[in-house]
Structures are given as structure tokens and as C-alpha cells.
């Protein structure tokens, strides 16, 4: 298997992009990526998109996006794993280059979520859960994560304020990110006074509905050194795991088993332990999700995610920074683009190009992208070389 590097990254500003179409934002991110890489060579394209059909009435992205990128004969494949679609697209690109099938693969994540009514948004997002045994009976993703939050508070004493501290920290980081949908700081009081969504989760505990796209260009380390435009960043480990799609069928709803297993597999492949990681971009679709993810990864002990956040351990200047980009909460969550955007942030940090949110001496990063209520997960380990 060949050693793999990321030579280009490209994003657009996330938000409610009424004036742009699905194809517009995807092409913009791809062009930004190629400009960053210093090459326009693309042998193949992997596309992460959860539901172009329900959100936009557009399937067949493997023809549409290469066409409007001016590469209509380039082979392309679409990858879907709910909210983990983007991360899985990066993994697919990695495997294609590592195997020798292609030398340059563009991993492109995109979702255009705001062109439909709230009812269709809710219906579409509910398809990431169990359609027959959860969505059909009226429980949606906020409801599922609310159940986890209630159980976590009951078992570990996690407080309502500790949940709010996750949002406060991520908005503080996101205020420094020019790509963020909501680049403003908030307070604990802001979170506690926001509208109740699913008790105990309030509006500011939840990631927003977002339009956005992100792209990374992957090649071999050998090819990357020939181009030499950007500092070298490699992907040294990848781990994937699945869990039951229905929350009620899990052994313990307070454990993200897919996250734990994917993390172990990624770290093993990279020859690392969690203590070797300098920072992480994780899937904070809800504030309780970030708390449970950092526990599943072994960054903190079980039940200590809320306390660790409140004590500043996961802050930008803390012992283990989490979501320097602002995370899904502040940067936004265009589902198919999220996992690719996490990779973009990790690369910026490892290059030392993250500006005011730059983590000091960042050499090794972890990105964690998951689908639904934790039914699928993909983790990447990246290193500066």
C-alpha cells in the first residue's frame, strides 16, 4: 500500500446560500482545492452527499458534478453514510490512491439543505435513523440525542450548564473561522435561554441546517513531494465501524461503540495512541455528542466529558483542543461536506496556516465523523511531515 498525502484543500463559506445551487457550491470548493494544491490533475472523484434527491431533487451526482467541473469523462463514485458521508468519501479516495488504481483523487463533500421546507428537512434528516422503528413513530435525531443527554445527566451528574459549555467553546473557536456559518461568540445564558427543542436540548445545543461544500485532493507522498507547494500532511491511519441504527437496540445508549472501535482501528493503523494526538475535530451535531465522543475516544474518562469541557481541557489552549474550527455547531453542518471540512481544518492546523485559531506545535490530528445517532463512524489520523 502506498503512502498517502493531502496536497490540496478547498472550502466555501457555509451558510444559507440562496443564490447558489448544489452544483455551484460543489464546483467552487473543488476549484479552491485545486488552486491550493497547485495542480489541476484529477484521475478520479469521490463524492460525499447524503441526500441530493430529497434536499434538491437531484441524484446522479457522479455525472452532474464532474460535468460542471469541466471533467465530464472523469470517473466518479458517490459515497453515502448519512452524516458520515464526507469522511467516507475521503476514505474511498485514500483507498483508491493507496491501491494504485489512481494517482490523484478528489474527495468532494457537498450538501444543499436550505432549499426545501422545514417539514422536508425534518423528514430527510430522520432517514438517518431507523425508518420503521424510530422515525415512523415520531422520534427524530434531536429526540434521540435528548435521550442520551438525559441518561448521561442521570448516570454521571452531567449538568445543563456543562452541555452549554460545549456550544460556548465551539462558537468561541468558530468566531475565528472565516468559513463559519455562525461566527459569533455566545454565553451559557444564550444557550439556556434559547428555544427548547427536545428536553434537555435547546436550539443552541443543536447544529444548524447548512449549505456547504469542501474538497481535498489526495495523492502519493512521492507525488506530493514533486509538487511541493504546501507543507506535507499525510493520512497515517483510518478506522471505520458501524453500530445498530436504532438507539434502543444498543447495549448501552451512553457508549458510542462505533466511535470507540473506529478510533482503535485508526490509531492502530497509524501506530499511535490517543496520547499522541494534539487535537481533534469531532462530530458535535449536538452538545451531548461531543461529550460522549471524547469519552469514547479515551480523551477523557467515561462520564467526565462535561466536566472536562467546563474546566477548559478541550478549549483552543487546553490540554486537548477539540473542534478548533468551531465544529458543526458554529461552522455549520452541511451533512455530506462535514467530514471533508474536518479534514480541511486538520490540514490547515498541521500546516500552521489556521491563523488566530492556530494550535501551538500541532503535529498530529484526529478527525471523527459519524452518521445518525452513532450508527456509523469514520476516523482519520493525519500527521505533519
Q: Would you list the DSSP string of 187-213?
A: -HHHHHHSPEEETTEEGGGBPPP-EEE
Residue in the block written with cell 441546517:
209
Enumerate the β-bridge partners of residue 110.
213
Q: Per this entry, what is the length of the chain? A: 385
Active-site residue flag, 333: yes
Q: Could you give the CA distance from residue 295 to residue 90 in angstroms, rounded to a whole number?
A: 25
* Catalytic entry in 333, 344, 377, 380: 333
DSSP3 helix / strand / coil % (the chain, rounded to 5): 45, 20, 40
CB 199 within 8 A of CB 146: yes
Q: Could you give the CA distance from residue 354 to residue 346 in angstroms, rounded to a whole number?
A: 9
CB 213 within 8 A of CB 45: no
Phi, psi of 58, rounded to the nearest 5 degrees: -135, 110
Q: Going edge to edge, which strands form the sheet with 211-220?
A: 76-79, 44-48, 105-112, 211-220, 4-11, 233-242, 376-384, 364-371, 279-281
Enumerate the β-bridge partners of residue 379.
239, 368
The catalytic residues are 83, 333
Amino acid at each position: 500500500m502506498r503512502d498517502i498525502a493531502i496536497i490540496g484543500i478547498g472550502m466555501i463559506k457555509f451558510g444559507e446560500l440562496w443564490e447558489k445551487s448544489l452544483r455551484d457550491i460543489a464546483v467552487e470548493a473543488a476549484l479552491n482545492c485545486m488552486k491550493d494544491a497547485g495542480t489541476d490533475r484529477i484521475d478520479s472523484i469521490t463524492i460525499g452527499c447524503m441526500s441530493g434527491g430529497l434536499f434538491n431533487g437531484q441524484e446522479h451526482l457522479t455525472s452532474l458534478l464532474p460535468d460542471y467541473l469541466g471533467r465530464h469523462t472523469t470517473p466518479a463514485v458517490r459515497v453515502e453514510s448519512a452524516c458520515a458521508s464526507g469522511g467516507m468519501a475521503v476514505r474511498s479516495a485514500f483507498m483508491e490512491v493507496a491501491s494504485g488504481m489512481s494517482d490523484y483523487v478528489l474527495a468532494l463533500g457537498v450538501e444543499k439543505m436550505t432549499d426545501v421546507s422545514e417539514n422536508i428537512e425534518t423528514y430527510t434528516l430522520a432517514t438517518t435513523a431507523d425508518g420503521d422503528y424510530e422515525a415512523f413513530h415520531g422520534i427524530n435525531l434531536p429526540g434521540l440525542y435528548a435521550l442520551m443527554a438525559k441518561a448521561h445527566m442521570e448516570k454521571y451528574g452531567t449538568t445543563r450548564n456543562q452541555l452549554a459549555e460545549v456550544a460556548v467553546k465551539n462558537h468561541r473557536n468558530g468566531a475565528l473561522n472565516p468559513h463559519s456559518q455562525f461566527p459569533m461568540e455566545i454565553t451559557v445564558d444564550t444557550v439556556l435561554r434559547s428555544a427548547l427543542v427536545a428536553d434537555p436540548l435547546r436550539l443552541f445545543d443543536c447544529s444548524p441546517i447548512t449549505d456547504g461544500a469542501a474538497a481535498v485532493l489526495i495523492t502519493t507522498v512521492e507525488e506530493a513531494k514533486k509538487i511541493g507547494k504546501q507543507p506535507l500532511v499525510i493520512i497515517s491511519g483510518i478506522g471505520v465501524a458501524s453500530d445498530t441504527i436504532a438507539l434502543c437496540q444498543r447495549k448501552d445508549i451512553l457508549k458510542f461503540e462505533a466511535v470507540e472501535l473506529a478510533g482503535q482501528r485508526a490509531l492502530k493503523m497509524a501506530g499511535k495512541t490517543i496520547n499522541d494526538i494534539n487535537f481533534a475535530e469531532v462530530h458535535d451535531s449536538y452538545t451531548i455528542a461531543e461529550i460522549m465522543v471524547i469519552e469514547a475516544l479515551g480523551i477523557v474518562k467515561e462520564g467526565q466529558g462535561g466536566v472536562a469541557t467546563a474546566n477548559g481541557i478541550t478549549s483552543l489552549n487546553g490540554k486537548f483542543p477539540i473542534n478548533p474550527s468551531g465544529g458543526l455547531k458554529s461552522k455549520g453542518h452541511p451533512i455530506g461536506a462535514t467530514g471533508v471540512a474536518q479534514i480541511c481544518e486538520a490540514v490547515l492546523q498541521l500546516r500552521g496556516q489556521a491563523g488566530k485559531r492556530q494550535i501551538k506545535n500541532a503535529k498530529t490530528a484526529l478527525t471523527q465523523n459519524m452518521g445518525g445517532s452513532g450508527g456509523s463512524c469514520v476516523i482519520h489520523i493525519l500527521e505533519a511531515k
